[in-house]
Structures are given as structure tokens and as C-alpha cells.
């Protein structure tokens, strides 16, 4: 009996093992993880470069991470949709699909918000605007190297240009002198060469960001080239997170691209326009401004002048108020250009740069007191008297 039992046990087969169930969501999970990682790396790269004031972004590093993010998001969309339709585990697939699309949705929201802020001319360092601007700068650096076949360097500039530039050597030398003079005036040496592009990038004209300046597509060089290069020079002196008043930012660039008499005449003309608008009713002002560029801004200043009195309103105080501080519009150019020129001539370019770097929303009046050693009302009074003297000299007949 025992022999039969032993033989029976020896011939017994092992119990069948269950087959492992394949993980049909593995590829989807990998795409979700890759989407989150690549989007985080791309965003972190852009924000880190902003905080470190990198003048020429690591463009290809951003492009590679952005491509990985796009491909992994497409993988999430395709694999997730298939698993939701075909199963199994449709509930888990829906959850992974939602999780994997969240990075793309966040990026899309930031791009839309940053683009809208840019179109409104509201140049404030919000997260959407900063990411939008640094991403654009990164792509612009790549496009400049590929779109413009010729380049020429000087001690402060790298000029990207096309065959239509008549005399590239002479034009580069002229702007090299301009930038070198600004460097001497501000007493702040450049940290890196400015990439001066003779034409548009990414469909944009006439702007400066970081170490990139988009000049004119005219030859010889125009006032806008001096304007944008002046932006690029002073940008290199800015600490992380600073976004100065547009009155000073655009004023500085205008002051370095136009003569003092023209700046004074333009500013006084703008002042008188606002004063005249303030004498009209609100309905009349709306009718007059219909179709004007920045009708909202003109209307706001006219309304303020109507309240406080056309000849009592402080333009410097208004143009550094929350409504105007980051507003990149005509009035800040017109009055800011003359004001920057006045400060540079009266106090020196180094004091202007100090005021530029000290100005914060709600703190311009204190910055004037600290840097210029004058109360704001005295600074403004001297400013307008200086402009009036200049324009009166221009009207005086020659002897």
C-alpha cells in the first residue's frame, strides 16, 4: 500500500500556475510620466534662466524638452483614447488620460495668458508672461541663426543680417559706437554681447528681450535700432525679478534715439492734448478718441485731469500709478522720453540708471527722493520748466 502511494505521488503533476495578466496600461503610464517630466523640465529651464538673468537662453535644450513634451502628450492622447474605447480597465485609462493631458492644458493656458498680456502691452513679470517671453527669446535665437545668413561681430555686438544691408561694416561700426557710449554713460559694462537682428523674428518687429534686439529692416540704420539697443544695454544691469516703470524703460530708449528738442516738443504736445481733453465731457472724449490707438489710456488720463484739474495733475505720479506702471503705450514713450533725457542731463546717466533700478510699483515717489534727493513735485516742476525753455528756444527767430 505504501509502495502504491509513493508511486502515485511520484507520478503526480505540479499544480498549474496562473498566467501573468499583461499590463495593457504600461505604455500609457510611461507616456503620462514622460509628459509630466518633460513639461516640468521645460518650464523649470525657462524660469531658472529668467531668475539667473541668462541673456542668451539655452535654446536647443528648451526645444528638445518641448519636443519630448509634445510627443509624449500625443502618446497619452492616442494610447489613452484607444484604451478607453477598447478596454480593459476603462476607468483607469480615463484617469491616466486626464492626468497625462493636464501638463499640456497648463502649458496652453500659460501661453494664451502670456500672449494676451503681451498684446495688451502689459509688461509685468507674471509667470505666464515670463515663460512666454523666455520661450520666444529661445526660439528667436535659433531663428536668427538660420534666417539671416550673414553675421558680423564687434566688441559689443553680433549683427545678424541679410544681403539687402548696404554697408554692414559701417552700420555695425556706427551701432558699436552707440552701445559703447551707453556703456560709458551708465558705468555698467555689458555682461555679454547683444545679438542685433536686422529684421523680424517669429513675426515680431522692433523689440528687445534679454540679449536679443530686433532692429529695423531699413538701411542705413534707423532710430528704432538705437531704441532697441538702448533697451538691451540697460537690461543687462537689471537684477532678477525687476520690471521697471514703462515711463523709465521706454523713456530711456526714446531718449537715446531722438534729440532733446524733438523729445521736449513731443512731451509738451502730449501734455496739452491731455489738458484739452480734460475740458471736454466724458461723452465728448469718447467720441474724440474713437479709433485712436490706446483710447483707453488717453481717456483714463483725461478723466484724472478732469477730476484734479487740468493744470494740477502730476503726470509723473499718474504715469507711475498701477494703471500705467507696466503699460507699454504711446504716452509713456512721449513723456518718458523727455523725462529720461531731462534726468540724464540734469543728474547724470548713472543717477538715471539708479532711479530706473530703484523704481517699484507704488514706490516711485520714494525712489525720486532717495536717488535724486528731490521730492517728486519738485522733480516734475523742474522737468516741465526745462522742456518749456527748450521749446521756447526752438521758437525764437534766428538773428
Residue 52 has pLDDT above 80, yes or no: yes
What is the rounded average pLDDT of the residues 84-88? Answer: 82
Q: What is the pLDDT of residue 267?
A: 97
SS3 string, 60-119, reads: HHHHHHHHHHHHHHHHHHHHHHHHHHHCCCHHHHHHHHHHHHHHHHHHHHHHHHHHHHHH
CA distance 226 to 229: 5
Least confident of 58-62, 291-295, 341-345: 291-295
What is the rounded average pLDDT of the residues 10-15? Answer: 58
Residue 8 has pLDDT above 90, yes or no: no
pLDDT band at 234; cut points 50, 70, 90: very high
Q: What are the cell numbers at 257?
A: 534715439
- The H or E element that residue 158 is part of is strand 157-161
| pLDDT tens digit sequence for 171-207 | 999 999 999 999 999 999 999 999 999 999 999 999 9
Q: What is the pLDDT of residue 398?
A: 44
pTM of the predicted structure, to 2 decimals:
0.88
Q: What is the pLDDT of residue 22?
A: 64
Q: What is the pLDDT of residue 86?
A: 81
Angle between helical axes of 330-347 and 260-278 (0-180°, round to 10) = 130
For residue 206, which of 230, 190, 182, 189 has the smallest C-alpha distance?
230
Q: What is the pLDDT of residue 305?
A: 95
Q: What is the pLDDT of residue 361?
A: 92
Residue 365 has pLDDT above 80, yes or no: yes
User: How many residues are given for the chain?
Assistant: 399
pLDDT band at 241; cut points 50, 70, 90: confident
pLDDT band at 25; cut points 50, 70, 90: confident
Q: What is the pLDDT of residue 397?
A: 47
Contacts of 220 (CB under 8 A, 6+ apart): 166, 167, 170, 171, 174
The percent of residues in the chain predicted with pLDDT above 70, rounded, is: 92
What does the mean pLDDT of the chain come to?
Answer: 91
Residue 399 has pLDDT above 50, yes or no: no
3-state secondary structure of 292: coil
Domain residue limits, the chain: 26-130, 150-235, 246-395
Q: Would you say 313 and 304 are in contact if contact means Cβ atoms under 8 Å apart?
A: yes
Q: Which residue has the cell 509713456?
A: 332
Which one-letter DSSP state was computed for residue 22?
P
Amino acid at each position: 500500500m505504501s509502495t502504491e502511494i509513493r508511486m502515485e505521488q511520484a507520478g503526480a503533476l505540479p499544480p498549474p500556475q496562473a498566467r501573468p495578466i499583461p499590463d495593457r496600461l504600461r505604455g500609457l503610464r510611461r507616456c503620462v510620466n514622460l509628459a509630466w517630466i518633460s513639461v516640468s523640465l521645460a518650464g523649470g529651464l525657462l524660469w531658472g534662466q529668467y531668475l539667473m538673468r541668462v541673456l542668451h537662453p539655452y535654446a536647443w535644450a528648451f526645444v528638445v524638452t518641448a519636443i519630448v513634451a509634445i510627443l509624449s502628450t500625443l502618446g497619452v492622447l492616442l494610447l489613452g483614447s484607444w484604451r478607453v474605447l477598447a478596454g480593459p480597465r476603462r476607468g483607469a485609462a480615463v484617469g491616466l488620460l486626464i492626468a497625462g493631458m493636464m501638463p499640456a492644458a497648463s502649458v496652453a493656458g500659460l501661453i494664451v495668458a502670456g500672449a494676451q498680456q503681451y498684446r495688451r502691452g502689459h509688461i509685468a513679470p507674471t509667470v505666464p508672461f515670463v515663460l512666454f517671453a523666455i520661450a520666444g527669446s529661445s526660439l528667436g535665437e535659433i531663428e536668427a541663426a538660420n534666417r539671416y545668413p550673414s553675421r558680423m561681430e564687434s566688441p559689443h555686438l553680433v549683427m545678424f543680417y541679410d544681403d539687402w544691408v548696404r554697408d554692414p561694416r559701417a552700420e555695425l561700426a556706427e551701432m558699436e559706437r552707440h552701445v559703447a557710449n551707453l556703456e560709458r554713460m551708465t558705468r555698467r559694462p555689458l555682461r555679454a554681447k547683444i545679438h542685433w537682428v536686422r529684421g523680424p523674428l517669429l513675426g515680431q518687429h522692433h523689440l528687445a528681450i534679454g540679449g536679443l534686439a530686433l532692429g529695423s529692416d531699413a538701411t542705413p540704420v534707423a532710430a528704432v535700432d538705437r531704441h532697441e539697443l538702448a533697451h538691451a544695454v540697460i537690461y543687462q544691469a537689471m537684477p532678477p525679478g525687476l520690471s521697471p516703470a514703462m515711463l523709465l524703460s521706454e523713456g530711456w530708449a526714446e531718449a537715446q534715439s531722438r534729440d532733446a528738442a524733438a523729445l521736449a516738443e513731443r512731451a509738451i504736445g502730449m501734455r496739452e492734448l491731455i489738458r484739452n481733453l480734460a475740458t471736454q465731457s466724458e461723452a465728448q472724449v469718447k467720441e474724440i478718441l474713437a479709433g485712436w490707438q490706446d483710447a483707453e489710456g488717453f481717456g483714463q488720463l483725461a478723466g484724472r485731469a478732469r477730476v484734479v484739474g487740468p493744470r494740477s495733475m502730476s503726470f509723473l505720479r499718474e504715469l507711475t500709478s498701477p494703471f500705467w506702471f507696466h503699460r507699454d503705450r504711446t504716452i509713456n514713450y512721449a513723456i518718458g522720453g523727455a523725462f529720461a533725457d531731462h534726468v540724464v542731463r540734469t543728474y547724470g546717466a548713472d543717477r538715471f540708471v539708479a532711479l530706473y533700478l530703484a523704481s517699484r510699483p507704488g514706490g516711485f515717489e520714494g525712489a525720486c527722493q532717495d536717488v535724486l534727493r528731490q521730492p517728486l513735485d519738485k522733480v516734475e516742476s523742474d522737468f516741465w520748466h526745462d522742456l518749456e525753455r527748450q521749446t521756447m528756444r526752438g521758437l525764437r527767430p534766428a538773428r
